[in-house]
Chain A
């Protein structure tokens, strides 16, 4: 059973809902069918300072979840659907507790166990990496998958493994032929708890294993990077600094990914 809370269908469908992580397809379809405007609270949606979350979360905390709290505080929403199972993280469970206490709207916990594979054409196509991430993250608001016909597979020259970063500017350093792995691939496949898919990487191409600082997935990123023959482990917090970008650029150039 996917949904944690049995009363996840509200008496009146929300006009505007926030989602955290990837709630089950059943929830997304329900929101789509009722014309609900969905805001992906993991993304940067408001210009306010992240310090606005300081009363509720430690400053040394996952930047994505700090962003979730900031968005939830600033946006006018009717409900929040927050995934707290293996498809997201333990910290999201605790953030759901905090949101329940600081918001006056329903905060509905889900545990996404969807197993139907929708495919990963965007992860494997030739397109600016930034555009690929924008396409995939936009896709979580829709219960239908991307039309694979528009995304032909390409031969990869580099790999990006991990979650969508808080700071998308680091994606601009990668060649268009970069393939995406890790949880972002699970996102496109609409199976965020698919551990086998998250563990998959291509050992024949230089790959950056990325994690947000203070994220539990950093352990997995480091572990997989140590096993990969040509890897760079990288973590970044709220913004990706100059030295992190220089590491990516140097790694990709020195491993021949730009050729």
Chain B
């Protein structure tokens, strides 16, 4: 059975019978006739026989991977952010921001390419930009560069602003479980003002695997 998380920028696949690890494909390179068995994600309904709501996939993935009854799990994607909060083993709160969190991961990746930056070699900055959303926040970068701030530092302050927004959106927990592609961005994870436990990019696939729980 093929499971897939069809994200805005990247798609993740898992063949449950092959014993292989999950794979990643850029969404723009997907074959148009592709079909999978069960899917989640923004583009999932186009490609799958069965579709699972992203929040449900995230929740089931968290239940499978986190050995705790009280936690907040935040998923940061290319286009949106969503979280689920458990208290006493039960769902206590959730949120899905498709508007103000718009294009955050996508924008962070575009900025790295344009300014030729490698986030792996950068450190979280001291300065935080006040970022309403990925697109509007770019003005802060341009203004800072005009003032003489190096591009790398300006972009890092922007990423930190997005991280702080995401943290507040998730309810400002003392400990945050993080999923999604930004788990691999040290500027982003290092800018979150709390304990961060990264779970990687395949939490929603894990959720599809355990959807019947």
Contacts and interface: CB of A to CB of B under 8 A. Distances in A.
Contacts of B90: 230, 255
A247 B91 contact: no
Interface in A182-230: 230
Given A230-B90, A230-B91, A255-B91, A250 B53 contact: yes
A139 B25 CA distance: 55
A213 B53 CA distance: 24
A250 B54 CA distance: 8
Contacts of B55: 246-247, 249-250, 254
A249 B97 CA distance: 15
A241 B96 CA distance: 11
A73 B95 CA distance: 37
A249 B56 contact: yes
A243 B98 contact: yes
A232 interface: yes
A246 B95 contact: no
Contacts of A247: 55, 94-96
Contacts of A255: 90-91
Size category of the binding interface on chain B? 10 to 19
Interface in B57-71: 59
B98 to A, nearest CB: 4
Interface in B72-95: 80, 84, 90-95
A250 B56 contact: yes
A114 to B, nearest CB: 37
Nearest to A251: B94
Interface string A227-259: 000101000000001110011011101110000
A82 B120 CA distance: 62
B52 to A, nearest CB: 10
Contacts of A242: 98
Contacts of B97: 243
Contacts, number: 39
Contact of A254 (B80, B91, B96): B91
B95 A254 contact: no
Q: Is the interface of B mostly helix, strand, loop or mixed?
A: strand
A139 to B, nearest CB: 33
Contacts of B91: 230, 251, 254-255
Contacts of A232: 93-94
Nearest to B98: A243
Contacts of B98: 241-243
Contacts of B92: 230
Nearest to B63: A254
Contacts of A251: 91, 94
A246 B54 contact: yes
Nearest to A230: B90
Interface in B87-139: 90-98
A255 B87 CA distance: 12
A250 B84 CA distance: 10
Nearest to A244: B96
Contacts of A254: 55-56, 59, 84, 91, 94
Interface string B35-56: 0000000000000000001111
Contacts of B95: 247
B96 A253 contact: no
Contacts of A230: 90-92
18 contacts: A230-B92, A232-B94, A241-B98, A242-B98, A243-B96, A246-B54, A247-B55, A249-B53, A249-B55, A249-B56, A250-B55, A250-B56, A250-B59, A250-B94, A253-B56, A254-B59, A254-B91, A255-B91
Interface of B: 53-56, 59, 80, 84, 90-98
Interface of A: 230, 232, 241-243, 246-247, 249-251, 253-255
Given A247-B55, A249-B53, A249-B56, 17 more contacts: A230-B90, A230-B91, A232-B93, A232-B94, A243-B96, A243-B98, A246-B53, A246-B55, A246-B96, A247-B94, A250-B53, A250-B59, A254-B55, A254-B56, A254-B59, A254-B91, A255-B90
The 7 closest A-B pairs by CB, nearest first: A250-B55, A254-B91, A243-B98, A243-B96, A250-B56, A246-B53, A250-B53
